[in-house]
Chains A and B, each alone.
Chain A
Amino acid sequence: MTAIDPTTLSAEVPVHRTKRPDWLGLALALALGIVVVIPLLVVAIWAFAEVWRYPSLLPQEFGFRFWQATLARPDVWNAMSLSLRLSITVTLLSALICLPAAYAFARMDFPGRNVLFLSFLASHAFPKFGLLVAIAGIFLNLGLISTFWGVVLIQLVGTLMMMIWIPVAAFQNVDRAMEEAARDAGAGPIRVFWSVSLPQAAPTIFAAVLLSFVGTFYETEGAWLIGAPEIRTMPVLMITYINNQIVVQYGAVLSVLLWVPSFIALMFTRRLVGSGSFAKGFGV
């Protein structure tokens, strides 16, 4: 188990167990499963297919030929390293900016608090592409187009909601008396944040950090619009392959490769989502 406060566990809503199987639920789950799993399965099969001609349900030949071919390309490795550097930079910067801001939103009352909080979320209330095009125009003047930091900036905007909203709720769930007890023991406000609030909210915040890392890693619109042509992240590269090459397998191999980090992240978050504190995260 992770360090989850037992009090948040006890606050969990009891699970209702009905004896009758829930047929509607089952059917929905099945339908969803088919819609989600079948395409994934097809892509996975494509990644290992060497020959797959039309009428056949399964490929005629399996093999790792396209894996070798894909992994032998230097642009794949460059994109991988770039994507990782980008995602780490964006997530760290986002945490650095958003966590103190989230704490301020959760704990302090200052003029314009609500307006500011809404403006953080507002970036997600409008069609994103329009916003991106407008920003691209500004970046062009600033010479940020097609640079690492230009992409960092645009992707940073994308993480704001996740990194503000969830941590705000996490900080609000921290027992105020715990913070006051730390003040009482001689800690100044910053020390209280670092030694009590942050560790107390850590499980939920960790989930938010993970989700924004994954979100950034797979982000394409901003990366493509601002980054092209110099900055090519993994997902952008994958799209290029799929668009430009008749060989489906290159794209399929990349996409299977890309599952790995998200799968690991999902496994981590799943445990945290189970805890009451994360579910409460959306009840701002």
Chain B
Amino acid sequence: MKTLLSVENLRKRFVSAERDVAAVDGLSFSLGTGETLGIAGASGSGKSTLARLLLRLIEPDAGGITFEGSDWLSLKGSDLRHRRGRIQMVFQDILGAFHPSATVNDALGDPLRIHGIVAKAERSSEIARLLERVGLSSAHATRPVRELSGGQRQRVAIARAIASRPSLVVLDEAVSALDVQLRNRILELLVELQRENGISYLFISHDLAVLRAVSHRLAIMDAGRIVETGNTTDIINHPSSAAGRALIAAVPRLTPGGRPTNTMQKSEPTHEP
């Protein structure tokens, strides 16, 4: 497998008068073409900061990123603008990721136009096709993104990320607002695109069942570092880090037959090895 992305000893610290947070504290990993790396970790462990560093939305204090064979951090100006679209992201804060007055047409049409994906005449049929793939209809195209439901908005964000046919998509809690049927459908879509086009994914999720379904490898983050990495199933079956064990033990489980009402029991560790 060819290496698409490699990250070397990346660091980012946020310092203000009150707080000093080593959000990303010496991260190294690599990702192959057509591979999915799942990232799990407690809230605040640095997952979104890593994502924003990869997108060049913030600059690291130290470390290196090699992407598609070149030094990603030294890209500047028009070179950066040119290649930036090769990495797309679905943001955790979906509402903040869209222009407040954008319609669905704008959100999907812009990347198609900017990256010259389809001819102008075909743009609206491409938008309809993208919407259909994420379980929306072309009737949604003229709606303001702000006036969609949370899950509908999340799907527009996913459609936008795949619209420009990038080589890497960073998904930050991208399916967290979707009901199970839709989530399965979207995950299948992502896996299918990967099989067809060799897209790589960095898949950040709090949901280990989701990560287990789609990731080839899993990395567990804790306090800005990767504390454990390896084959997804192996880690879920035998987590070796304390952070990994805690996350896996707390997965909510459907309790058929339910519990007696009005008694809240702490759920048991849910996993049988």
| A and B form one complex | no
